[in-house]
Amino acid sequence: MRTTVGIIGAGPAGLLLARLLHNAGIDSVVLESRDRAYVERRQRAGILEQGTVDVLRAAGAGERMDREGLRHDGIELRFDRTRHRVDFPALTGGKSVMVYAQTEVCKDLIALQIEEGGPLLFEAEALAVEGADTDTPRIRFRHQGAEDVLECDYVVGCDGFWGVARRAIPAELSRTFERTYPFGWLGILADAAPSHDELVYARHDRGFALLSMRSPSVSRLYLQVPEGTDAEAWSDEEIWDELERRFETADDWRLERGPITQKSVTPMRSFVHEPMRHGRLFLAGDAAHIVPPTGAKGLNLAVGDVVTFARALVHRRETGSAELLDAYSATCLRRVWQAERFSYDMTTLLHRAPDATPFDDRLQVARLRRIASSRAAETDLAEAYTGFPVG
């Protein structure tokens, strides 16, 4: 097989890249190790930045998102039983975010790819990227029980942290930066109407809590728990009781309960690999960087990566210049590090460390009060949350 761009991974980054390339008249092949059903039910992110929403619309993949997604114009911060709303449009010149699950983004892009795009091979396991530093990189993969080779002009690794793409960059050229956190998120899906019409981020002496949603009838909620916690060690009643404690306010707000249909624990980490390019191999999304979910940046960063690559490749075709392709890693990393900074700030602002002192607690509350009382501080949060410019 041969193509211009070989894409490893059919998550939102790989699928969106295939769509952007198709719209630009550039052929690609997408290899995905899992089956279609798995990709379409894999629960991940649910918050789309303004820029991501705009990209999906421009790519022709926004129709169902605009019909079923939930536009949010702010978030609520809770601390010391008080509530403070951050108004995004008022602080950012009109920007908002969209609640629309990654599973739904993938469903939309898969349908478009199958109907209009190039080959999308499920259960096609990438085994190695070869010749990344040559003009003819190759992806060796296994599909339907047999090994095959996809010859490419370019390879884009959208295959996540554990994928093969990053391994093709020589160790002596690689630098990694990471931080692990001593807590995780116990997340639940519940058949219960959301208890608030926007996301609620709660700082409590017992730990962080987040109220989110997937639809008008399905709630997504999270509790800070110690690292290594077993989700099944928490009964449904214990989860709801703890959520009520952490979301408590001085007014008459109440938490809606319902049947819990899914529970899991997500570890928290920050990770960046530099560079994001080696020869004709380009890394995108979790293959190159991971952020703690507090800032809602993971999927959106991946979108920024593939938009940057597609734009650079079109520039190469139209002008003959490789300038933007050569700048890919530096361009992406500027945005990545801002997102890492924001995600770290949000995480340390709202989570209580196991060794936290009363001094640490007072500092957190002081930081939150600063946001609630200063338009400048509030604007900084709103601008980062709704999204950094691509490129």
90 exposed, middle or buried (CB, 10 Å; 0-12, 13-18, 19+)?
Answer: middle
Class of domain 5-70+99-177+269-346: alpha beta
| pLDDT averaged per 10 residues, the chain (length 391) | 97 97 98 95 86 97 96 97 98 96 95 95 98 97 96 98 96 97 96 96 97 92 96 97 97 96 95 98 98 94 98 98 98 97 97 96 98 98 93 64
Bridge partners of 314, per DSSP, are: none
| pTM summary value | 0.95
Contact 156, 310 (CB under 8 A): no
Task: Please tell me the predicted confidence (pLDDT) of residue 147.
Answer: 97
Contact 368, 79 (CB under 8 A): yes
Domain residue extents for the chain: 5-70+99-177+269-346, 181-268+352-386
The dihedral sign for the CA sequence 54, 377, 210, 218: negative
Active site residues: 72, 201, 293, 297, 385
Task: Tell me the CB-side half-sphere exposure of residue 176, using CA atoms within 13 A.
Answer: 16
The architecture (CATH level 2) of 181-268+352-386 comes to 2-Layer Sandwich (3.30)
Task: Please tell me the predicted confidence (pLDDT) of residue 43.
Answer: 72
